[in-house]
């Protein structure tokens, strides 16, 4: 086997691991890397699941397979954009596999742009902003911000202490419930469920559910099922954590009175929430500062697209309208800038948060198994609506031509 073949294989394996680590779906990983492998003259097959990538080289009796673990996955739009540029350059023959491998290693070794304290502040800001989208008002914003800050701090600590990583969702749900109920005794009455949901918003697997349904629709059944199962486990952990905290306050007869939620927040409050969620998503998705206007447009389109869709088709099915708008806008952005459509798409989908309904379904399930069935059905319909909108957008206006191997 030649040295160039070894380098090409190392590049493909490193790129597959990196793309999976940063949240790329199985169909994109396999299609794009097959085109790149054709350019490099490497016979290879890929099989991607959320926690690992299998790479098989050769054919027949000479085939051998490598297992690459990708358990520390997280959305990183800056890294995803850099990887996309590198992959296109190798596929089009503008740089060698050795140069591409060096760039992949540099990208994956680079630290996050934003320090830990900014990620904690972003969690608080996101909770305050999302509480408005969930129907809250000034009272809910006041309570949601400290809850989000506490959950964000716990997430930072848990990810630095490996033994706490698997307990993050359970502990975060417990902390959010206890802190929300405690704040109910010192602040003006607010809608308790809205504050708990907003405080946990960055841990809710809304995007994971959407990606899972998308992979299932693309017939990547193993990857889609695994991703969906992971999302369900996250929801269950969050739900049990909240239930534990609530049960303690019930046992001590310390549950505070709950205020009514605000169904239709004022336009100025919505505008502030859009700006706040844009700033928070810039940090949590590790986006480039120059992309702030792209993220702002995506969040705005998601918020008002969801309202238009709810008015047109109802709140459940109408989410497909918002998804279609976000998908078309993201594909136009990809065509005009030659950058990944994920840059506006991920923040836009994050605001639609089907995970919020999923979490509510878990909470209801803990009290009454019959009451959660309709909510879980709504989660699936919402996720399917998101995917349908994206599929229609891709069929109507693909983000850009497929990657063709160099001649």
CA 142 – CA 188 distance, rounded (Å): 10
Residue 92, both tokens:
């089009």
Q: For 36-101, give the DSSP string.
A: HHHHHT--EEEEEETTEEEEEESSGGG-EEEEEE--S----HHHHHHHHHHHHHHHTTSS-HHHHH
CA-closest candidate to residue 328, choices 382, 285, 392, 278: 392
Which whole-number Å values give the CA distances from 20 to 50, 69, 70, 252, 295, in the listed order? Answer: 7, 9, 7, 46, 22
CA 25 – CA 184 distance, rounded (Å): 41
Q: What are phi and psi of 49, to 5 degrees?
A: -130, 165
Residues 387 and 326 in one domain: yes
Q: For 157-182, give the DSSP string.
A: HHHHSHHHHTTHHHHHHHHHHHHHHH
User: Has residue 404 been placed in a domain?
Assistant: no
Residue 61 pLDDT:
61
Residues 101 and 120 in one domain: no
Residues 164 and 69 in one domain: no
User: Has residue 369 been placed in a domain?
Assistant: yes
Residue 60 pLDDT:
63
Residues 91 and 140 in one domain: no
Residues 57 and 131 in one domain: no
Q: What are phi and psi of 54, to 5 degrees?
A: -100, 130
Judge whether residue 404 has pLDDT over 90.
no
User: Which of 57, 85, 109 is the last residue in one of the domains?
Assistant: 109
Residues 290 and 340 in one domain: yes
Helix then strand then coil, in percent of the chain rounded to 5, is 70, 5, 25
Judge whether residue 403 has pLDDT over 60.
no
Residue 407 pLDDT:
44
Determine the average pLDDT of the residues in 97-102: 90
Residue 68 pLDDT:
80
Radius of gyration of the chain (CA): 22
Which whole-number Å values give the CA distances from 286 to 100, 161, 177, 181, 381, in the listed order? Answer: 22, 22, 28, 32, 30
Number of structural domains (the chain) is 2
Residues forming a β-bridge with 44: 57
Residue 280 pLDDT:
93
Residue 159, both tokens:
């990810």
- For residue 73, the tally of other CB atoms under 10 A from its CB is 15
Would you say the C-alpha torsion 72, 73, 75, 78 has a positive or negative sign?
positive
Helix, strand or coil, per DSSP, at residue 263 = coil
User: Has residue 405 been placed in a domain?
Assistant: no
Residues 68 and 157 in one domain: no
User: Has residue 75 been placed in a domain?
Assistant: yes
Contacts of 383 (CB under 8 A, 6+ apart): 209, 210, 212, 213, 354
Judge whether residue 373 has pLDDT over 70.
no
Which whole-number Å values give the CA distances from 222 to 9, 78, 212, 214, in the listed order? Answer: 24, 28, 10, 12
Residues 192 and 332 in one domain: yes
User: Has residue 402 been placed in a domain?
Assistant: no
CA-closest candidate to residue 363, choices 204, 238, 220: 238
Residues 153 and 103 in one domain: no
How high is the mean pLDDT of the chain? 81
- In total, the chain counts a number of residues equal to 407
pLDDT for 233-261, tens place per residue?
888 888 889 889 988 998 988 888 877 76
* DSSP-derived pairing of the beta strands 44-49 and 64-69: unpaired
User: Which of 87, 109, 131 is the last residue in one of the domains?
Assistant: 109
User: Has residue 403 been placed in a domain?
Assistant: no
User: Has residue 387 been placed in a domain?
Assistant: yes
Residue 120 pLDDT:
93
Determine the average pLDDT of the residues in 120-136: 89
pTM (2 decimals)?
0.83
Residue 128 pLDDT:
92
Judge whether residue 125 has pLDDT over 90.
yes
pLDDT for 101-116, tens place per residue?
999 999 988 888 888 8
Percent of the chain's residues with pLDDT above 70: 87
Residues 221 and 339 in one domain: yes
Asked if 153 and 203 count as a contact pair (C-beta separation under 8 A), the reply is no
Judge whether residue 118 has pLDDT over 80.
yes
Helix, strand or coil, per DSSP, at residue 54 = strand
Determine the average pLDDT of the residues in 123-143: 88
Residues 172 and 51 in one domain: no
User: Has residue 43 been placed in a domain?
Assistant: yes
Cα torsion through 344, 349, 350, 353, rounded to 10: 170
pLDDT for 303-323, tens place per residue?
888 888 878 877 667 778 888
User: Which of 71, 86, 109 is the last residue in one of the domains?
Assistant: 109
Residues 247 and 381 in one domain: yes
> Burial letters for 16-28: b for 16+ Cβ neighbours within 10 Å, e otherwise?
bbbbbbbbbbbbb
CA-closest candidate to residue 393, choices 313, 305, 312: 305
Task: Give the range of the structural domain holding residue 266, as residue numbers without chain letter.
Answer: 116-396
């Amino acid at each position: 086997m030649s040295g160039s073949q070894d380098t090409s294989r190392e590049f493909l394996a490193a790129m597959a691991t990196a793309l999976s680590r940063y949240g790329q779906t199985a169909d994109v990983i396999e299609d794009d890397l097959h085109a790149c492998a054709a350019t490099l003259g490497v016979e290879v097959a890929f099989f991607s699941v959320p926690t690992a990538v299998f790479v098989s080289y050769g054919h027949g009796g000479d085939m051998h397979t490598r297992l690459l673990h990708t358990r520390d996955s997280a959305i990183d739009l800056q890294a995803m954009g850099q990887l996309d540029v590198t992959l296109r350059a190798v596929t089009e023959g503008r740089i060698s596999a050795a140069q591409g491998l060096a760039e992949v290693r540099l990208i994956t070794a680079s630290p996050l742009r934003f320090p830990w304290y900014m990620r904690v502040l972003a969690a608080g800001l996101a909770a305050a902003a999302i509480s408005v989208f969930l129907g809250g008002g000034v009272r809910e914003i006041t309570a949601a911000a400290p809850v989000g800050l506490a959950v964000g701090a716990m997430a930072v600590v848990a990810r630095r202490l490996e033994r706490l990583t698997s307990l993050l969702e359970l502990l975060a749900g417990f902390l959010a419930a206890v802190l929300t109920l405690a704040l109910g005794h010192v602040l003006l009455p607010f809608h308790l469920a809205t504050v708990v949901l907003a405080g946990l918003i960055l841990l809710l697997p809304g995007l994971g559910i959407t990606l899972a349904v998308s992979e299932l629709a693309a017939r990547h059944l193993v990857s889609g099922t695994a991703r969906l199962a992971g999302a369900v486990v996250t929801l269950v952990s969050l739900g049990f954590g909240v239930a534990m905290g609530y049960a303690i306050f019930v046992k001590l007869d310390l549950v505070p009175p709950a205020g009514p939620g605000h169904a239709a927040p004022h336009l100025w409050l919505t505008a502030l929430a859009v700006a706040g969620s844009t700033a928070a998503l810039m940090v949590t998705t590790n986006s480039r500062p120059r992309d702030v206007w792209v993220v702002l447009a995506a969040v705005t389109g998601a918020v008002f697209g969801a309202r238009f869709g709810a008015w047109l088709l109802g709140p459940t099915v109408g989410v497909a309208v918002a998804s279609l708008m976000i998908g078309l806008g993201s594909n136009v952005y990809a065509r005009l800038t030659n950058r990944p459509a994920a840059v506006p798409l991920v923040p836009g989908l994050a605001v639609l948060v089907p995970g919020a309904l999923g979490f509510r379904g878990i909470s209801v399930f803990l009290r009454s198994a019959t009451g959660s069935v309709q909510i879980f059905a709504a989660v699936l319909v919402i996720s399917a609506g998101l995917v349908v909108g994206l599929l229609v957008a891709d069929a109507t206006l693909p983000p850009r031509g497929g990657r063709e191997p160099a001649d």
